[in-house]
Structure 1
Amino acid sequence: MVSGLINANPVVYEKKERRSRSTPTHVDEYAVELIDQLEIFDHIRDIKDPEHPYSLEELKVISEDAIEVDDKRSYVRVTFTPTVEHCSMATVIGLCLRVKLMRSLPPRYKVDIRVAPGTHATEAAVNKQLNDKERVAAALENPNLVDMVDECLAPSYG
């Protein structure tokens, strides 16, 4: 067992089977794929937890139901649920979600990352940090934090 973890023995759930995407909508001569809940989930489902060798999906930190998308308004909200109320990695998890979506979505999208209401002791502070552009930019200037985020976002082949 790894010592010093906030949640040393998390419950691990089975991953959902991947579903195929619908065909793109054609507008003029260009294929435009509408961004929907499933696409967002597919982008973030394999992000690794910072403390465990499991994905956020396997730990039920994220789920398809906790994603809201308004493609017409270019808005995405992801609500995540830390495995424990005092999760010290909640901000890192939220930052991983934000960075993955920043790298995956067209720049026109506004992304809102939130901790599920009532699931974290410092929910308001975490939400404020994750949705403040200056704080996110400052966090992404920290090489150690960027390395941690990149490790969580690295594809897993296991």
Structure 2
Amino acid sequence: MVSGLINANPVVYEKKERCLRSGPSSTDEYSVEPIDQLEIFDHIRDIKDPEHPYSLEELKVVTEDSIEVDDEKSYVRVTFTPTVEHCSMATVIGLCLRVKLLRSLPPRYKVDIRVAPGSHATEAAVNKQLNDKERVAAALENPNLVDMVDECLLPSYE
């Protein structure tokens, strides 16, 4: 049916039950709950894989355990694992993660997106691209790439 894919038949895992959270206490309108690992996971779990009709959670590209949060230092790191080590879409997946978190988190957060160590043939190059502000900005000036990212992010807003 589908040809030309790097991983035409990925393993698909069951999605976890979504954890719904309450907002700040109604007694203190200015309180801010710290952001934690589960909240970040809830933001990114439904991002669609660029090549498949599955979410990043269903393909185990991202998991709760692959997220580090230091709320006091306003730091978030997401480490993702492509389905194959020669995944041509690794940079697009990382860009989707970055864009979703930049749109979802307060601007005080520094977001670090990484490929899991040993999971991709060009790990260092992908990590460099995903964490270079100028490269990310240049990528987001490409209308075709922005359309692809927006398509992948659409299910995460539903």
Which interval holds the TM-score relative to the shorter structure?
A: over 0.9
Aligned partner of residue 55 in structure 1, secondary structure: coil
The aligned residue for residue 143 of structure 1 is: 143
CA shift in 2, pair 1:26/1:127, >3 Å: farther
RMSD (Å), alpha carbons: 1.9
2:33 equivalent to 1:72: no
How many angstroms does 1:21 deviate by?
2.2
The aligned residue for residue 132 of structure 1 is: 132
Counterpart-to-counterpart distance in 1, 2:25 and 2:37? 16
Could you tell me the TM-score, scaled by structure 1's length? 0.94
Could you tell me the TM-score, scaled by structure 2's length? 0.94
Tell me, which stretches of 5 or more residues in structure 1 are unaligned? none
2:64 equivalent to 1:98: no
Tell me, which stretches of 5 or more residues in structure 2 are unaligned? none
Counterpart-to-counterpart distance in 2, 1:48 and 1:141? 21
CA shift in 2, pair 1:139/1:27, >3 Å: farther
Offset from partner CA, 1:11-62 (integer Å, 9 cap, x none)? 0000001123266368965131211001100000000000000000000000
The aligned residue for residue 51 of structure 1 is: 51
Offset from partner CA, 1:98-121 (integer Å, 9 cap, x none)? 000000000010000000000000
Counterpart-to-counterpart distance in 1, 2:157 and 2:67? 25
Counterpart-to-counterpart distance in 2, 1:72 and 1:78? 17
How many angstroms does 1:70 deviate by?
0.3
The aligned residue for residue 9 of structure 2 is: 9
Counterpart-to-counterpart distance in 1, 2:21 and 2:28? 21
Amino acid at match of 2:77: R
CA shift in 2, pair 1:156/1:107, >3 Å: closer
8 Å CA contact 1:50–1:152 kept in 2: the answer is yes
Counterpart-to-counterpart distance in 1, 2:38 and 2:29? 25
Aligned partner of residue 13 in structure 1, secondary structure: coil
8 Å CA contact 1:95–1:149 kept in 2: the answer is yes
Kindly tell me the number of residue pairs found equivalent between the two proteins: 158
Counterpart-to-counterpart distance in 2, 1:137 and 1:157? 22
2:118 equivalent to 1:115: no
Aligned partner of residue 108 in structure 1, secondary structure: coil
Poorly superposed stretches of 4+, deviation over 4 Å? 25-29
8 Å CA contact 2:69–2:77 kept in 1: the answer is yes
